[in-house]
Amino acid sequence: MMLKLLIHVLFCVTVSAGVEIDPNGYILYCPCMGRFGNQADHFLGSLAFAKALNRTLALPPWVEYRFGEPKSVQVPFSHYFELEPLLKFHRVVTMEEFMENIAPKVWSPEKRTAFCYMARGQGTDCNAKEGNPFGPFWDTFNVDFVQSEFYGPLNYDVHHQDMARKWNSRYPSQKSPVLAFTGAPASFPVQLENKDLQKFLVWTPRIVNRAIDFIRNVLPIGAFIGIHLRNGVDWTRACEHLEHSPNLFSAPQCLGYRNEFGIASQDMCFPTPDAIAKQVKLAVKEYHAKSVFVSSDNDHLIPFLTKALKRMEVTVHKLANPEPHVDLAILGRANYFIGNCISSFTAFAKRERDANGLPSGFWGFPSNKASATKQKHEEL
């Protein structure tokens, strides 16, 4: 009995080079859907999933797609976010540290299994490395899979149906020390129960300092309004699907997960410049703002908004060399924020502001019709 206890203790806390091994196992995944906003939604769900299964989460690098690059670029998780706040919620380790110091002990090359719900692509296995960014992601860490495991009918909703117990019963850590998923073990958009985990995502000093430097040295003294505009060609096409997808992308953040607050409209997804100017003017008046900061994937509308706000003596600004993460850090510090209800990029800013008790709004929501109906109901 004492010998078994000693072996267990040694396994739990010591391996060569002083690396601590989690006897409850690890979760790895490729953040292979969409850009930063989508990946962030998936991260919150994956963090909740790891917590529920009581496994350490290996923090994957962020997958980025850069102009002129034939393959995705993997940026270490810690390049944008601090690890310490996450550790207050659950055990995490960077993917880099896991592969260098832990994988040799618990995930040898001949035992690497890819987990997926069902066969992916051509063939009868997960094809975990087929396509971009799947292949480049795992190649970053020299990972090849020797077999596939289909985990259906299990799912990632650990808040219902006793799902965590079912996962641990089917895949105990003693037999499956590493669960490596072809995609994030999470839903998109982020599940309602996981939204509050945003408070554990804290920008690194590099990002924070750049945001504060811009606010102090570029924006005039006084309150400012932060806005997010989605108006690229790809977004125009996405908005065309609203009629058949009333809860498109991140729409639940304002419409509710069951459309209890209405359905998405073109005014919300792709507001006209005039509608944007009108809503910004109202916000400027309410918060006595001196400037407006614009984040956009395409057209920042700087000349248009500058002209529209000229009489109010309000200036309009953007980063000279826009960087999405710094944009988000600035938006998170605005006195008031207006974003796109359908966008997961807006959703990130909104969740961060919610965590800090700051006010936010959305383009075209609530609609004038909805506002009139609500006012009439209240009068009755």
| pLDDT tens-digit readout, 144-192 | 999 999 999 999 999 999 999 999 999 999 999 999 999 999 999 999 9
pLDDT surpassing 60 at residue 13: no
Asked if pLDDT for residue 379 goes beyond 60, the answer is: no
Q: How far is CA 89 from the centre of its chain?
A: 17
Q: What is the pLDDT of residue 4?
A: 44
Q: Do 26-192 and 205-368 come out as alike in CATH topology? A: yes
- What is the CB-side half-sphere exposure of residue 14 using CA atoms within 13 A? 5
**CA-CA distance, 203 to 180, in Å (whole number)?**
26
Distance of alpha carbon 29 from alpha carbon 23, whole angstroms: 19
For residues 78-99, give the mean pLDDT: 98
Label residue 123 by pLDDT band (50, 70, 90).
Answer: confident
Whether pLDDT at 16 is above 50: no
Instruction: Quote the CA–CA distance of 28 and 57 in Å, as a whole number.
Output: 7
pLDDT grade for 8, boundaries at 50, 70 and 90: very low
Query: pLDDT digits over 338-370, tens only?
Result: 999 999 999 999 999 999 999 999 999 997 654
CB 280, CB 336: distance < 8 Å = no
Percent of the chain scoring above 70 in pLDDT: 92
Cβ-Cβ contacts under 8 Å for 24 (sequence gap 6 or more):
53, 54, 55, 56, 173
Tell whether domain 205-368 is in CATH 3.40.50.11350. yes
Selected residue with higher pLDDT from 380 and 356: 356
Q: What is the pLDDT of residue 303?
A: 98
DSSP-based helix, strand, coil % in the chain, nearest 5 = 45, 15, 45
Give, for 295, the enclosing helix (H) or strand (E). Answer: strand 291-296
pLDDT the model gives residue 243: 84
What does the domain layout of the chain look like in residue ranges?
A: 26-192, 205-368
Considering the domain delimited by 26-192, tell me its CATH architecture.
3-Layer(aba) Sandwich (3.40)
Amino acid 378: pLDDT: 35
Per-residue pLDDT, averaged over 91-103, amounts to 98
The mean pLDDT value of the chain amounts to 92
Ramachandran sector of residue 304 (left: φ over 0; alpha: ψ -120 to 50; beta: rest): alpha
Query: How many CB atoms are located within 10 Å of the residue 121 CB?
Result: 11
| Residue type at 320 in one-letter notation | A
Contacts of 180 (CB under 8 A, 6+ apart): 28, 29, 107, 112, 113, 114, 115, 128, 143, 145
Q: What is the mean pLDDT of residues 322-348?
A: 98
- Say if residues 72 and 136 touch (Cβ distance below 8 Å): yes
At residue 11, the pLDDT reads: 42
Residue 308 corresponds to which amino acid?
Answer: A
Q: Residue 246's closest CA among 122, 116, 171, 341? A: 341
pLDDT of residue 368: 63
Average pLDDT for residues 223-242, to the nearest whole number? 95
Cα(280)–Cα(338) distance, rounded to whole angstroms? 8
How does residue 18 score in pLDDT terms, banded at 50, 70 and 90? low
